Structure 1
Amino acid sequence: MTVIAVIGGGITGLALAHRLRFRGKDAVLLEAGSRLGGCIETRQRGGFITEIGPNSFLDREPATRELAASVGVEDRIRTADPAAKARYVYTRGRLRSVPASPPAFLKSTILPLGVRLRVVAELFTGPAPQGVDESLGAFGRRHLGHGATEVLLDAVQTGIYAGDMEALSVGATFPQLTKLEREHRSLILGAIRTQKAQRKALPAGAGGSEKLRGALCTFDGGLQTLVDGLARALGPAAHMGAKVEGLQRGNEGWRVSVTENGRQAELLASQVVLATPAYVTAGLVRPLDEQLSALVEGIAYAPIAVVNLGFEPGSTPPPDGFGFLVPGLEKRRLLGAIHVSTVFPFRAEGGRVLYTCMVGGARRPELVKLDEEALVALAREELKELAGVTTSPSFTEVIRWTRGIPQYNVGHLGRVASIDAALARLPGLHLAGNAFKGVGINDCIRNAFALGDALAA
Structure 2
Amino acid sequence: MAVRLVVVGGGLAGLSAAYAAERAAREAGLDLRVALLEASTRLGGKVQTAHSDRFVLEGGPDAVVRYKPWALELMRELGLEERITGTQPAKPAAFIYLRGKAHPIPEGLNVVVPSRLGPLLRTPLVSLPGKLRAARDLWMRRAPRGDEPFGAFITRRLGREVWENLAAPLVGGIYGGDPYQLSTLAAFPQLKALEDKYGSLIRGSLAMMRQRKASREGGSLFASLKGGLGELVTALRNALEKTDLALGVRVTRLERTGTVWRVYVEGGVLEADAVVFAAPAFAAAKALAEVAPRAAEALRGIPYGDAATVSFAFPADQFPATQGHGILAAAREGLAVRGFTWVDRKWNDRAPEGYRLVRAYLSGEAARQSEEELARAALADLRKVVGRSVNPERTWVFRWPRGMPQYTVGHLERVQEIEAALSELPGLYLAGAAYRGVGLPEVIRDGRAAGVSAVTYLTGKTHSSAR
What TM-score, normalized to structure 1?
0.90
Q: Which moved more, 1:8-17 or 1:18-27?
A: 18-27
Residue 23 in 1 paired to residue 24 in 2?
A: yes
CA RMSD between the two structures: 2.2
1:234 matched to which residue of 2?
240
Partner of 2:188: 174
Does the 8 Å CA contact 1:60/1:214 hold for their aligned counterparts?
Answer: no
Question: For 1:75-154, what aligned pairs fall within 5 Å after superposition?
Answer: 75-83=82-90, 85-101=92-108, 102=116, 103-130=118-145, 132-154=146-168
Aligned 8 A contact 2:262 2:269 in 1: no
Deviation at 1:209, TM superposition (A): 8.3
Q: Distance in 2 between matches of 1:6 and 1:235?
A: 15
- 1:384 counterpart residue number: 383
Task: Give the 3 Å change call, closer, same or farther, for CA 253–182 of structure 1 in structure 2.
Answer: farther
User: Secondary structure of the equivalent of 1:267?
Assistant: strand
Residue 68 of structure 2 is aligned to residue 69 of structure 1: no
Q: Give the drift of 1:139.
A: 0.5
| Structure 1: distance between partners of 2:7 and 2:92 | 39
- Indicate conservation of the 8 Å contact 2:168/2:180, yes or no: no
CA distance in 2, matches of 1:389, 1:345: 25
CA contact (8 A) 1:125 1:142 kept: no
Which amino acid in the other structure matches residue 154 of structure 1? A
C-alpha distance in 1 between matches for 2:340 and 2:231 = 23
Q: Which residue identity does 1:268 align to in structure 2?
A: A
1:131-179 superposed Cα distances (whole Å, 9 cap, x missing partner): x321111110121112111221111111111222332111111122112
Determine the C-alpha separation between the residues in 2 that align with 1:208 and 1:332: 33
**Hey, what's the Cα distance between the residues in 1 that align with 2:161 and 2:368?**
32
The letter of the residue matching 1:57 is V
Are 1:161 and 2:161 matched, yes or no? Answer: no
- Rounded to whole Å, the distance in 1 between the matches of 2:156 and 2:123 is 22
1:223 to 221, 225, 229: 229
Q: Using a 3 Å threshold, how does the CA distance of structure 1 residues 3 and 85 change in structure 2: closer, same or farther?
A: farther
Q: When the two structures are superposed, what TM-score results if normalisation uses the length of structure 2? A: 0.88
Offset at 1:423?
A: 1.1
How do 1:367-382 residues align onto structure 2 when only pairs under 5 Å count? Answer: 367-382=366-381
Give the 3 Å change call, closer, same or farther, for CA 238–355 of structure 1 in structure 2: farther
Offset at 1:389?
4.2
Aligned position for 1:354: 357
User: Displacement of 1:374 after TM fit?
Assistant: 2.6
Whether contact under 8 Å (1:318, 1:342) holds in the other structure is no
User: What pairs with 1:214-293 in structure 2 (closer than 5 Å)?
Assistant: 215-235=221-241, 237-241=243-247, 242-258=249-265, 264-269=268-273, 271-293=274-296
Conserved 8 A contact 1:42-1:223: yes
What is the number of equivalent residue pairs in this alignment?
440
For residue 223 of structure 1, report the CA deviation from its aligned partner. Answer: 0.4
Distance across 1 between alignment mates of 2:264 and 2:427: 16
Deviation at 1:318, TM superposition (A): 4.1
Q: 1:322 aligns with which of 322, 325, 339?
A: 325
2:461 alignment counterpart = none
Runs of 4+ in 1 over 6 A off after TM superposition: none
Distance 1:178 1:254 in 2: 41
Q: Deviations over 1:375-423 (max 9, x none)?
A: 2222111111122242210010111112121111111111111111111
Q: Identify the residue that residue 203 of structure 1 maps to in structure 2.
A: none
- Counterparts of 1:446 and 1:124, CA distance in 2: 38
- Structure 2: distance between partners of 1:268 and 1:173: 34
Q: Is the 2:17–2:452 contact (alpha carbons within 8 Å) kept by the matching residues of 1?
A: no
The 2-side partners of 1:398 and 1:208 are apart by: 33
**Unaligned segments of structure 1, at least 5 residues:** 200-206
> In 2, distance between residues paired with 1:449 and 1:141?
37
SS at match of 1:9: coil
Cα drift, residue 57 of structure 1: 1.0
Distance 1:247 1:372 in 2: 35
Note the C-alpha offset of 1:340: 1.0
Read off the aligned partner of 1:449 and give its amino acid letter: R
- Pair 1:194-2:208 in alignment: yes
2:11 equivalent in structure 1: 10
Instruction: Give the drift of 1:235.
Output: 4.2
Structure 1 residues 238, 112: CA separation in 2 closer, same or farther (over 3 Å shift)? farther
- Superposed displacement of residue 196, structure 1: 2.8
2:459 aligned residue: none
Identity percentage over the alignment? 34
Q: 2:295–2:418: 8 Å Cα contact kept in structure 1?
A: yes
Tell me, which stretches of 5 or more residues in structure 2 are unaligned?
Answer: 109-115, 457-467
User: Take 1:136 and 1:89, find their aligned partners in 2: how far apart are those partners?
Assistant: 20
Distance 1:187 1:238 in 2: 50
Q: Give a deviation string over 1:259-282, Cα, whole Å, max 9, x none.
A: 5xxx7352322x211100112111
- Whether contact under 8 Å (2:13, 2:443) holds in the other structure is yes
**Structure 1 stretch 428-437 or stretch 109-118: which is displaced more?**
109-118
Instruction: Tell me the secondary structure at the aligned position of residue 350 of structure 1.
Output: coil
| Paired position in structure 1 for 2:303 | 300
The question of whether the paired residues in 1 share the 8 Å contact of 2:64 and 2:440 is answered with yes
